[in-house]
């Protein structure tokens, strides 16, 4: 968990609010921890941070696509990379992801991202 928090802090230092959208071709996947050790308040902070970072990109099929996977004892895809191309909808659905609980099986989420989320079927 400390690694995830450290990565999030580093990401926050790199992505600063701007009046200009980042225009680049990328698949950005947020993997959010919904385990019991995170807590509902921290999960809300994670979702808001992911929504704010996603809002910095120009979202479209030709530019950046954003997806969200969540994990605790298991994993699931909440938003596929190619499913939402309107930033307002993307941010809305990120903020509505429900908090779960359970263990912290990070490796399942990383395997799922590699094997499913970043495939042509679900992304570019």
pLDDT, position 94: 95
* The CATH number of domain 25-117, selected from 3.30.1330.60, 3.50.50.60, 3.40.50.410, 1.10.10.60: 3.40.50.410
CA 19, CA 76: separation in Å to the nearest integer? 33
Quote the tokens at residue 4.
Answer: 């995830």
pLDDT, position 87: 85
Contact between residue 33 and residue 47 where contact means Cβ atoms under 8 Å apart: no
pLDDT in tens, 50-73: 999 998 988 888 889 999 999 999
Mean pLDDT of each 10-residue bin along the chain, 124 residues long: 47 52 83 94 95 90 91 92 86 94 90 87 72
Composition of the chain by helix, strand, coil, percent to 5? 40, 20, 40
């Amino acid at each position: 968990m400390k690694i995830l928090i450290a990565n999030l802090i580093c990401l926050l230092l790199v992505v600063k609010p701007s009046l200009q959208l980042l225009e680049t071709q990328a698949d950005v996947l947020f993997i959010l921890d919904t385990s019991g050790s995170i807590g509902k308040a921290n999960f809300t902070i994670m979702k808001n941070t992911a929504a704010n970072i996603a809002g910095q990109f120009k979202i479209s099929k030709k530019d950046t696509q954003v997806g969200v996977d969540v994990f605790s004892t298991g994993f699931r895809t909440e938003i596929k990379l190619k499913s939402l191309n309107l930033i307002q909808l993307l941010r809305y659905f990120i903020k509505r992801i429900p908090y779960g609980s359970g263990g912290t099986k990070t490796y399942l989420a990383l395997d799922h991202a590699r094997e499913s989320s970043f495939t042509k079927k679900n992304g570019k």
